[in-house]
Amino acid sequence: MADDPGAAHHARPGPNSSDRNDDLADEKPPPDSGLTASEVGQDVAPEPCEPQTVTDADPASPVLDPPTPEIGTPSPTHVSGGDTDLVATGDAATDHIDSADPAPAVGAHTDTVDESAQRRGDTVTPSVWVTSGPVCLGDTDSSTTQPAGGHRFGLPERPKALGAALILLRDYDWPQLPFRSPLRGPWLTSVFGAVLLVSLPIVIITGLLSWVAYGPRFGQSAPGDVGWLHLPVFDWPTRPSWLYRLTEGVHVGLGLILIPWVLAKLWSVIPKFFQLPPVRTPAQAIERISLLALVGGILFEIVTGVLNIQYDYIFGFSFYTAHYWGAWVFIAGFVVHVAVKMPTMIRSLRSRSLRSVLRTSRADTVAEPRDETGLVAQHPGPVTISRRGALGLVAGGSLFITVLTAGETTGGPLRRAAFLLPRGRSYGMGPNDFQINRTAVAAGLTPDRYRSGWRLHLNGGVHPVALSRPQLLAMEQHTVDLPIACVEGWSTVQTWTGVRLRDLAAAAGVAQLASARVESLERFGAFRSVQFTAAQILHPDSLLALRVNGVDLSLDHGFPARIMMPAIPGVHTTKWVQTIDFRER
C-alpha cells in the first residue's frame, strides 16, 4: 500500500471495514529500523488522514485522553470539513464494538480504560468521540479533537486548567453595559488623570510630613508603631514659623479642591468597574487589585478626612491611625496604577491637543475612536455637553470649594466665606475672637484649678520651682505674631505675649537642655502632655503665653497660660499649662 501513490485517493472504507487495517497489520518494520508497527502505520497513512469513529473496545490500542463528553445524549452527527461522520449510540454502538478489528485503523484514535479510575474504584463508561479534523496516529494536540456534543467553544464543559476557564470567560457573549456617554474615552480620562498625577503627590507628601511634625521620636505620632513603614525621623524645624500652617493647609485644602477631579476621573472609567468578565488576563487581575487599593484608598481618605474636618467621628476608630494606614494603601495602588497606565495616558494625551478641544463646541463634539481601553461606548448616546464644558464644570467645582474653604487657612475676608468648615467663622469676644478647637468645658476644667490658686511648676533643676501668674507677668515679656495651625486644616495668626521658655528653663536651673515635657490641667485627652525638642524650647519666639492681642487669654484660649511656638501642630500649643519638666543632657 505504501508503494501505491494513488492509494490516498481510494474510496474511504465504511465504519466497519477492516480491509485497510488487515493490510497494515501484516506490514512489519525492517529489523534494523527501530520502528514499531504503529509508527510504520503512521508513516504510510493516506493523505489526508481521515476522521474515524472510535470506541474504547480495543484494550490494545494506544492510550489517549479525549475530552470528557458533554453530559447528555450526544448529537448523532459531527460535521468537519464538509464530511459527516455517524456516531454509533445505543445498540448500534455495541454492534460496532463487537465487529471492530483488533488491529488499529490508520488515522483513528482509540481509548483504554483509565487505569487511575480503576485504582480509585470509579465506574468507567466507554466514551464515544470523533475527531474534528484530520488527526493521524501520534497526534497529541487536544485542540484537534472535540467531544460529540461538546461545548460551543470546543472546550470541555468542566475545564481542568485555569487557562481554559479564562478563555470561556473571555469569549462569552456578555451583555452590553448601559454607559453611552460620547465624552468617555482615553483622552478625557487621561486629562483627569494628569491633573491628579501632578496634585496627589503633593497631598501625600504634606500628609506624611504632618506625621513627622507630631514628634515620632517621642512616641507622639499616631500611629506610633508602624513597622517598616516608619518614615525617616528628624527634628521638625522651627523656621519658618508658618511651616506647619503651610504643609497642613496645603494637605487639607488641596485635598478638598481635588474632590471634583477625583469624582470626574471615577465617572470617566466607571464602565471598567462593571466590565464583564471582570478579569480576562493575569495582567488585568493585577490591575484590578491595584484599582481596589487606589479607588478604595482615596475614597476612604476623602471620607474620613472630611469627617475629621467636621469633628464628626462616627466611624468609631482613631482618625490618625486609620488615615495613616489608609494613606499607604492608597500610595501602593497609586504607584502601581501609574506604572501600568502611564504609557496609555501619554499616548492618549498626544492623540489630540487641549487647545483644539477647548475650541470644539457641543455640536461638533463626537465620540473618540474605539480602542483597547474599553472606555468608549459601543453605541454612544446624543451629545449633551462638550468636553470643554465637562472640563469647565469640574474646574468650576474646584474653584467653588476653594472659595468655601480657603478662608480657614488664609484668614482675612475669605474667613467669613468658609461655610463648610466648623472653625472658619467667629468665636470668642473682641481680641479673643478667633478659632477654638477645644473648650474648657470639653477639657473638664473646674474653676478651682485655674483661679487664684494656680501655680506653674518647673521641674528638672536642683530644686522644683513654682510660679504664680502675677510672678510670671513680672518677668521679662516677649511679644510675637505666631500661627495656630490644626490638623483639620484651619489656622489663624494672632499676637501673643508671654515669657520665653528658655527664660523659664534658666529660672529652673537647667543649663544643658535636652528636651522638655509640658503637662496640662486638662483631665483627659490625647494631647494633655506634649514633649518638645531642645531646639523648639530654646527658640527665641517660643513662649509661655499669658496674653493675646493685648488682653488676657480667655478661658477657652488657655487661661491662665498656654504654649505658643513656631511651626508646630495646633494640638501641641498646650492650653491650661500646669507643669514643665525640663530634661538635661
Element (H, E) at 535: helix 534-538
Measured CA distances, 372 to 265, 274, 344, 381 (Å) = 18, 16, 10, 20
pLDDT value at residue 161: 65
Residue carrying C-alpha cell 473646674:
446
How does DSSP classify residue 419?
A: -
Sign (positive or negative) of CA dihedral 46, 48, 54, 56 = positive
pLDDT value at residue 274: 81
CA 387/CA 365 separation, integer angstroms = 7
Could you tell me the pTM of the whole model? 0.69
How many of the other CB atoms lie within 10 Å of CB of 118?
A: 11
Architecture of the CATH domain 438-584: Alpha-Beta Complex (3.90)
Best CA proximity match to 432, nearest among 562, 528, 245, 310: 562
Domain extent listing, the chain: 5-159, 186-352+381-386, 438-584
Taking CA 23 as the corner, what is the angle to CA 19 and CA 29, rounded to the nearest 5 degrees? 160
Q: 475: left (phi > 0), else alpha (psi -120 to 50), else beta?
A: beta
CA 288/CA 333 separation, integer angstroms = 10
Across 151-176, b (16+ Cβ under 10 Å) vs e yields beeebbeebeeeeeebbbeeeeeeee
For the chain, 585 residues long, give each residue's pLDDT as a single digit of tens. 444 444 444 444 444 444 444 444 444 444 444 444 444 444 444 444 444 444 444 444 444 444 444 444 444 444 333 343 433 334 443 344 344 444 444 444 444 444 444 444 444 444 444 444 444 444 444 444 444 444 444 545 544 566 676 677 666 666 666 788 999 999 999 999 999 999 999 999 999 999 999 998 888 988 888 888 888 888 899 999 999 999 999 999 999 999 999 999 999 998 888 877 777 778 778 888 888 999 999 999 999 999 998 888 888 888 999 999 999 999 999 999 999 899 999 999 999 999 999 999 999 999 999 888 888 888 889 999 999 999 999 999 999 999 888 888 887 777 777 777 666 555 666 788 888 888 888 888 888 778 878 999 999 988 999 999 999 999 999 999 999 999 888 888 999 999 999 999 999 999 899 999 999 999 878 889 999 999 999 999 999 999 999 999 999 999 999 999 999 999 999 999 999 999 998
How many of the other CB atoms lie within 10 Å of CB of 468?
A: 14
CA 477/CA 496 separation, integer angstroms = 10
pLDDT value at residue 485: 92
